Structure 1
Amino acid sequence: MFFRLSRPMDIDPSGQLILDLPALAGFVRSTAAALHAAGARPGDRVAVFKENHFDCLLLAAAAIRIGAVPVMLSGLLPPDSVRALLRRVEPTLLVSNRRLLEEAGSDGGPLTSLAERTLSLDGGVPDALALVDVLGGPEPAPVPRGDDELMMLTHTSGTTGIPKLIMYTPEKLQGQMARLECRHLPPLTFGRNDVVAMFLPYVHARAFTWIYSVLTLSPATVLLMSENDPEVVGPLFRQHRPTVVEALPIDFLRMAPLAGENRGDALASVRTFIGNFDAMRWSAIRTFLNASRHWFPVWREGYGQSETGGLGMTMITRYRANKRRDERPGPRKVGRPMPGFVELKVVDPTTFEPVPTGEPGIVLAKTKARCVGYYGEPERWEEKAVGEWWNTGDIGVMTRTGALTLLDREVNYAPGGSCLEHEDVIVDHLPDGHDVALLPVPDGPPVPIVATPDGSLDRERWRGAVRGVPALAEPIVIAFKDMPRTGTGKILREALRTRYLAGVGHPGHGRWT
């Protein structure tokens, strides 16, 4: 097995692009020595806030090796969110790069003031150490930790404000979350001959469970992607022929030209596409499945949360994706809970008593993988923990066959409909490059925010797209680039509501967001 990088790692001055397992282990040891030389010690919090790449994982492993607790922060977080999280954890060491360290927050103060020490991977920052100055020192002995000790912090998406910091222990992350994925279950998991391409925010817990599966199942080649530009991805895919591609919605949207009519053969060998972090629009699923020349390509879509790991899974075939546009679709099905790993139930949001099959309610999950808390915010954790059950904050329906379908987040749910379902229908009947967010309001029909390539909307096409959909307000049309999103591509509905519906409340109360 070897690892092919889309660009050199920021922790590697030598600029290597191809690595094997011994090389990766060597980077963890040398980086652990660098963090120790920079002043990190057992029990210290080491904040990793850098440009997204695979070396985020190696920095976390290096911090864990010396007994420190890595705090993994996405380089795409807004400056004020980063500052709020750093104040919460009070890190001993902040590891970052010059561009991010020079970003100004509303407080006007330097980011370096929020940690005892700062390590700039590319140097050039006043009051910060440079990586080249701390490399090459002696390697400290590993510091083991117990299964129930705090190992790592990662953050939630922050769609409704400042993200929460989730507390992971070895038992939860390694012992539970990664357990199912590390089993040999073709075609769900990797085989020895697979070429796996991964696009991911490498600071997220999903990256850690994924790397455990890679190290356990040993696919032939792993393509570690830090960018989604088709001009970069296309040549790499044509050279290495991936058979499994996992990416965020924002990555698939960016790579769409590779699946177009003049796509060449970059995706010809893909047998499994895996969508993570948020549901993909059906039009995109169809496009990528049709771009594969495999005899039976599938789209694997998982349902889960950062606090719980995977809760369900569904597989979409090329036949189903192509047929769906001609049918009257229902709510998005996210699959059945994994037997022996997860239990799901749907309850009344007021009494928390189970509702009859087919009736909507709050989705509760029970899993041994549930994490141990929100760092510095126990009250927010207690709001969502219902004994052994976890309140997902989603409104769903359990079918007679035991499958879960999702309607909406509770904060956006208006009884009698599903904005997520209606968005799927509308986008599926609009041209490429369009997206829609429906904002329900307490009194009146949902308000559509329509993002188009140039900020204009063909009203005839719009009327055709919403035919059969319950009544909507007049659409608000914006340019696609102006649709606010998180770093993983989720639409920031609260930002839209603030911008276009100032003073209009939610249909739900939002206690469990």
Structure 2
Amino acid sequence: MRNNQLWKSNLGLLFDRRARTGKPMVFRLSRPLDIDPRGRTLLDIGEMADCVRGTAAALHAAGVRSGDRVAVFKDNHFDCVLLAAAASRIGAVPVMLSGLLPDDAVRALLQRVEPALLISDRRRLTPADGDGKPLASFADRTLSLDGGVPGALTLAELEGAPEPAPAPRPNNELMMLTHTSGTTGVPKLIMYTPAKLQGQMARLECRHLPPITFRRSDTVAVFMPYVHARAFTWIYSVLTLAPAKVLLMSDSDPATVRPLFREHPPTVIEALPIDFTNLEDLARERASNVFSSVRMFASTFDAVYWSTIRSFLNASQHPFPLWRYGYGQSETGGLGMTFITRRTANRRRDEEPGPRTVGRPMPTFVQIKVVDPQTFQPVPDGRPGLVFARTKARCVGYYGEPERWREKAVGEWWNTGDIGIRTRTGSVKLLDREVNHTPGLSCLELEDVLVDHLPPRHDVALLAVSGGPPVPVVATPDGRLDPEVWRRAARGLPDLADPVVIALADMPRTGTGKVRREELRRRHLGEAERPGTGRWT
């Protein structure tokens, strides 16, 4: 993408540019936006563009200027994207924080970025426990989206402010900060420029590549953490390829999803693994199948269990439904992609054991190599090692933590922290994160098989332990597990320790639904050592 095209496609101008094409496009929301005083759940592309311009004017009236950091910490919804677009439009740097982050992590991140404005809500700005400094103390000014916070601005008092001229960031300057999952502690803040985020990360996805990208006739449903970098590459592709209707979901509550999908049957669904898990019972409802029209399911962020993939592909009545699984990281964007058909999903897991294939590197975009964790020298195909990737989409650093960046950036190569295998055909198979890898095993593979053999609504996280078998933490709906059910599920598998059984509600997760394995270790394993070093988490 040329420099002048990048400027025109800057996030802050993207909605305007799309609205000017004149092609109809409708957004249906699962609930009203927190920044929309009119409480609408149906907006066209022109109204979305108006919302970005009006919000940019409000931020400017609140004193935000070019180069200022604007932190967004609120309930998950699409207005997180619109707030980021509004800040970018006037040259500010949005700092996107998941509303599910604990207060101590948020305080650490706010202290790191020193925002000129913190956008949040009454619940988060006035915590009941009173522990620690109030979040408002970390920003010059605070905006409460639902009011009720002494000393904080409100949208009502900023509404109708004059609209400033657009002044987006140059292509190679810092445009946005998002954070990593935070599975091992305080998340890292990732630095994105327009050239990296829109010029590289979103580039491949914005091409017309039927049947794996959007069609004009599609109704696209998305369940997304809208503060994540994936939300921004996704919105570039949506506004470029222009499906006719987009369903913007703020959560995956089946009570919300069922009536909305009946009214607007989706043809493409992208969701987190945890969202698919939440909706799996709905996928099994044959009497009111709301997934019958889906031609493609897409998942990112983490592995999805085979049992879940099978449930959704079998729920579709499309002749050839696909499951698109993307492998990548926040720091690099997409690294590989693979597709699963209904026939493959229904093949018994015992027939084809082995680690999960995540696909081949994207041609001309990405290179992958597997190296020895000690020497960083390449290992032969078929042998496990650390997965390294080289891509022009790699982001430019960790904000305020250059030493953590240097641990993972090895020249032009990026240390993913994953243990994997490169096959002779160039495919990549993942075994584990290095921090949780037991030599000779794949905890990810064993978790997948166990969940496939256990009753529905059971989850498993294996914790690697030095000098012993992995410890299974089994989460069940009621926190109980029949020993005979467990014996049948684990039959024929490598040795495992006796399971630790917890309730599903007690499984610690990040804002993207990933299991916080280090927290599980702290709770249940104490000082037990692990085989991995944890250097590259």
Query: SS state of the match for residue 440, structure 1?
Result: strand
Task: Give deviations 1:394-447, integer Å, cap 9, x for gaps.
Answer: 000001111000001111111111111111111110000111111111111111
Task: Pick the aligned partner of 1:31 from 55, 65, 73.
Answer: 55
- Would you say the 8 A contact 1:118–1:129 is kept in 2? yes
The size of the alignment, in residue pairs, is 513
- Taking every aligned residue pair, what percent have the same amino acid on both sides? 72
Q: What is the match of residue 66 of structure 1?
A: 90
Q: What are the superposed Cα offsets for residues 45-100 of structure 1, whole Å, 9 maximum, x if unpaired? A: 00011111101001001001111000000101111111110000000000111112
Paired residue for 2:152? 128
**1:228 Cα offset (Å):** 1.1
> After superposition, where does 1:209-220 map in structure 2 within 5 Å?
209-220=233-244
User: What is the one-letter code of the residue matched to 2:492?
Assistant: G
Secondary structure, aligned partner of 1:129: coil
Mapping of residues 4-403 of structure 1, within 5 Å:
4-103=28-127, 107-403=131-427
The residue identity in structure 1 corresponding to 2:479 is: G
Q: 1:326 to 1:361 in 2, by over 3 A?
A: closer
Q: How far apart are residue 144 of structure 1 and its match? A: 3.0
How far, CA to CA, are the matches of 1:150 and 1:104 in structure 2?
35
| TM-score after normalising by structure 2 | 0.94
Q: Which amino acid aligns with 1:506?
A: R
Letter of the 2:155 counterpart = L
Q: Structure 1: 5+ residue runs without aligned partners?
A: none
Distance 2:348 2:177 in 1: 40
What is aligned with 1:497?
A: 521
Question: What CA distance in whole angstroms lies between the structure 1 residues aligned with 2:220 and 2:491?
Answer: 40
2:351 match: secondary structure: coil
Provide the residue aligned with 1:460 in structure 2. 484
1:100-121 per-position Cα deviation (integer Å, ceiling 9, x unaligned): 2123677432111110000011
1:79–1:105 contact (8 Å) kept in structure 2: no
TM-score (normalised: structure 1):
0.99
Amino acid at match of 1:333: T
Q: Give 3-state SS (helix, strand or coil) of 2:104's partner.
A: helix
Partner Cα distance (2:428, 2:128) in 1 = 44
Where structure 2 has 5 or more consecutive residues not aligned to the other structure, the ranges are: 1-24
Following superposition, the deviation at residue 261 of structure 1 comes to 3.5
Provide the C-alpha distance between the structure 2 equivalents of 1:220 and 1:28, rounded to a whole number of angstroms.
20
Which residue matches 1:425?
A: 449
SS of equivalent residue, structure 2 residue 217: coil
Q: Does the CA-based 8 Å contact 1:66-1:140 persist in structure 2? A: yes
Q: Deviations over 1:141-198 (max 9, x none)?
A: 1113211000000000000000000000000000000000000001110001000001
Supply the distance in 2 between the matched residues of 1:50 and 1:491 (Cα, whole angstroms).
22
Cα distance in 1 for partners of 2:273, 2:438 equals: 25
Which amino acid counterpart does residue 477 of structure 1 have in structure 2?
A: V
Q: Report the secondary structure of 2:124's partner residue.
A: helix
Amino acid at match of 1:463: R
The 3-state SS of whatever aligns with 2:381 is coil
The aligned amino acid for 2:469 is: P
* Post-superposition CA distance 1:16-46 (Å, at most 9, x none): 1111111111111100010011111111000
1:252 CA displacement? 1.1
Contact 1:112 1:127 survives alignment (8 Å): no
Whether 2:515 is the aligned partner of 1:511: answer no
The one-letter amino acid paired with 1:301 is Y
What residue in structure 1 maps to residue 434 of structure 2? 410
Give the ranges of 4+ consecutive aligned residues of structure 1 lying more than 3 Å apart after TM superposition. Answer: 104-107
**2:18 — aligned with what?**
none
Could you tell me which amino acid in structure 2 is paired with residue 196 of structure 1? V
1:276 Cα deviation after fit: 1.7
| Cα offsets for 1:315-348 (capped at 9, x unmatched) | 0111111113342421011000000000000000
